[in-house]
Chains A and B, each alone.
Chain A
Amino acid sequence: MPSTTLTNSPLFGWLLGYEAKRKLLLNKAPAGALRDFLSVPMPCMATPIDKVAILAVDFETTGLNAKQDKLLSVGFITLKQQQMSLKSSYHQIIKTKAQLEESNVIIHHITDSQKEQGQALATVVEALLKALAGKVMLVHFSRIEKQFLTEACHHLYGMAPIFPMIDTLALAKRRLDKRDVAYDPSELRLANLRHKMQLPEHHGHNALNDAIATAELFMAQMSKANKDGKITLKDVLL
């Protein structure tokens, strides 16, 4: 996983702690959405996971490279106390200049004309940062969300924030690695992990649907791992 800058590296986070780093960044941040986001304290690492406010997020993009490819849409929903209200959910397509590549159009069902109805990247990222303040981001396969949001913030605000993440793929991988038995990497796909947890069939590739699906998977994972309720935010953080 290529890390971009020192301040974003896991080592840095481990040395300083998220909270300390947040305060550091807050001083540098320009006024506006980013500063507002950074001004809200992060959840304490010792909080039992069931009590942590979480924002399940999913991005649809034109590709895997945050430098070249574009964000197409963003979906998120708040998860707290094993509960999500669809009223709190958000889904927005982003208006970008990049021509949609045909292969991606098929995957995401977003056509150029739909994209024209989208909103500006700044508006969508602002909405995301506002919702994310004080919460932990939950994703499946963190690379995409981490890099694309970092890249977008660089582009919009000239600097990237720090945001703690939980990754359902990493959690599943951790469990599988512990077993010391070879497994097919496809087992780690969202749909396959859900199937194993006996969650309803899921056909992905709508950012909000995927965010909800990820949150459901996380709750199922926690149900298995956290029977005694002792798991804290620190235990599951990426």
Chain B
Amino acid sequence: MDTELSEISTFIHSIPPFDSLPKQVLAHLVRELTINYVRKDDYLPPKGINEPRLYILRKGAISCRSADGELVSRLGEGDLCDAFYHTETNAQSNSQTATTSQLQVHTDEDCLIYSVEATVLQDIGGRFPSISDYFSQNSAQRLKNKMTQVNEEAILSSTLMNTAVSNFYQSPVASISTNQTIQQAAMQMNEQGYSCLVVVEDDNPVGIVTDKDIRRRCVATGLATSAAISEIMTRDMCTIDAKSNAYDALMMMTAKHIHHLPVTKNDELVGMVTVTDLINNEGHNAINLSSIIHKANTLTELKEISQLLPKLQIRLAKLGSSADHVGKSISAITMAFTKRLIEMAEYKYGQAPVPYAWLAAGSQARQEQLAHSDQDNAIIICNSMKPYDDAWFESLATFVCDGLAECGFIYCPGDIMATNPKWRKPQKIWQNYFTDWVETPCPKALLNSCVFFDLETIYGDVALLNKVRKQLLIKTQNSTLFIAHLTKNALNLRPPLGFFRDFVLKQNGKHRATLDLKHNGIAPVVDLARIYALSEGISAVNTIERIQQAAGTPSLTRGSAENLIDAFEFLGMLRVEHQAKELMRGETADNYLSPKEISKLEREHLKDAFKVIKSLQDARQSSY
């Protein structure tokens, strides 16, 4: 009698979490089902049903609206509706998630609906926790569990991401005083077996010296080994906080092309981490790629290397890397390309007439770039520049932007590039720009200039941008009008809650419905994070860092921050996987996801992610 009710069983078995049930339990569950036919423009629960039940949509479409009539979700074939599953509203549910008891569930079409009593599922849940977990959680919790699982996969394939630098650094740091000689330094390196020493003055680290410096700056130049070590040390030393993850350390070293990185704890030097320490733990070749870029001498060579970028992205995606990991790797490599091009330009046109910095804007600045996205860049120049100096900067900008375009980073469609004279200005003009945007926030100008609130120095004098940023953040924190305008703009992009339903409706038509992951999912989170950062004076640019730092401030509760990061990571992961598939087929990577590409479970999670984003957008809207 195995064909009995087989179609219903097969259907139920295809829906998470029931896909995890053994056959016998499934058969029992199917026996407990009730089938209802609910006509169009009616409401759930069907007449005569009062007890709590879970509804499973077999055919048709329903929409759930909150008490004030706003659409919360639209469900189609194979979707679960738990609006009437819990008898009482959960007193602990936070205000950002709608209480389900107030939902109005309306049939948009004739519906064939299966349902099962909550008590039956609770019985099954007693033996199969995957069932009870699924229905005891709200969407944010389900997403959280999903992301924990994803991270576990990532840990297996890449330990660096989830390991703090503190697990890798060597301590204590070998140090040497500024007034000691080069020869003493070389002897100390030999004795202790280090290739790198931190130079200290009155216990304060002031620089770093490596065996390579002795070779290049002393022996090769004929400098006396009796000269002070301070002569050959590198002064502007990068450091990393011990709490940072090891992957960030690796990326920092990749981008700056250095092999040693001093580690600090509360601004005090505690150790040193080397590339070798890290690379032994990491299989991928971002470092290699970066060092080949550094050695390239011609544009043709760079162009060849750039063709490896999609391959790296595929590889990272296959390793199960998180979107954060992929974004940081690709951004670090783009940074290496840009730096190499600038070095080539400086070689070609001579040294810059005045100090300057090359800035990356948008996704590269946020370290969320994927292979061959468009370039957004700008130049900030020291106020001492004379009008005729601009010729040099124009040459630089043209050389670098053209070079990046050759390497597959297409020109910015909005002309946000250093070649545009508007975005190649001295520090004081940049300061005026920001002041104008903040003080007279015309919505349209804001939309165009939003990209400049995410800026990072790629090359040159870091202090130029830092000063502008510091003043900007003081202004934005105190300008509610500006934040209100920014919020209004940001809320133009809403996650499409009816997306799945629309897709089902259009499945027989010519138009293949897709989801724009970038504009409908990722951008709204990036926008929210920017608003939190600007209202709370947070200087971080990376979206996850911004959310982490905003957590616990008046802008964002800790719980919401965690949910938002989970949603962002999940959307990012979908994008990375989607693009990897396209790149493997030799297609251009885009952001348009077809629901057919993803599993039913992923669709559930995607819906959960949208709900989290929407609830925080709503919270934001109501605060202005």
Contacts and interface: CB of A to CB of B under 8 A. Distances in A.
Interface of A: 75, 81-87, 89, 91, 93, 109, 114, 198-203, 205-206, 208-209, 212, 215-216, 219-220, 223
24 contacts: A75-B4, A81-B48, A82-B39, A83-B36, A83-B46, A86-B5, A86-B30, A86-B32, A87-B31, A89-B5, A91-B1, A93-B1, A109-B3, A114-B1, A200-B11, A201-B7, A205-B3, A206-B6, A209-B5, A212-B8, A215-B35, A216-B37, A216-B112, A223-B110
Closest 7 CB pairs of A and B: A219-B37, A82-B37, A84-B35, A206-B3, A223-B39, A85-B34, A86-B33
Nearest to B109: A198
A215 B112 CA distance: 11
B46 A82 contact: yes
B7 A202 contact: yes
Contact of A208 (B4, B37, B59): B4
A81 B48 CA distance: 9
B260 interface: no
Contacts, number: 75
Contact of A83 (B35, B58, B110): B35
B37 A86 contact: no
A190 B4 CA distance: 18
Contact of B37 (A93, A202, A206, A220): A220
Nearest to A217: B37
A50 to B, nearest CB: 10
Contact of A198 (B3, B34, B36, B59): B59
B47 interface: yes
B84 to A, nearest CB: 15
Interface in B3-39: 3-8, 11, 30-39
Contacts of B37: 82-83, 216, 219-220, 223
A216 B7 CA distance: 14
A227 to B, nearest CB: 8
A86 B31 contact: yes
Contacts of A199: 59, 112
A75 B4 CA distance: 10
Given A209-B5, A216-B35, 16 more contacts: A85-B34, A85-B35, A86-B5, A91-B1, A91-B4, A198-B110, A199-B59, A200-B112, A203-B7, A206-B3, A206-B4, A209-B7, A216-B37, A220-B37, A223-B37, A223-B40
A199 B37 CA distance: 11
Nearest to A91: B4
A86 B37 CA distance: 14
B58 A200 contact: yes
Contacts of A219: 37
Contacts of B4: 75, 91, 206, 208-209
Nearest to B34: A85
B156 to A, nearest CB: 40
Interface string B38-61: 111000001111000000001100
Contacts of B8: 86, 212
A200 B7 contact: yes
B367 to A, nearest CB: 47
A82 B38 contact: yes
A208 B8 CA distance: 11
Contacts of B30: 86
A212 B7 CA distance: 11
Nearest to B49: A83
A82 B491 CA distance: 43
B121 to A, nearest CB: 15
B377 to A, nearest CB: 53
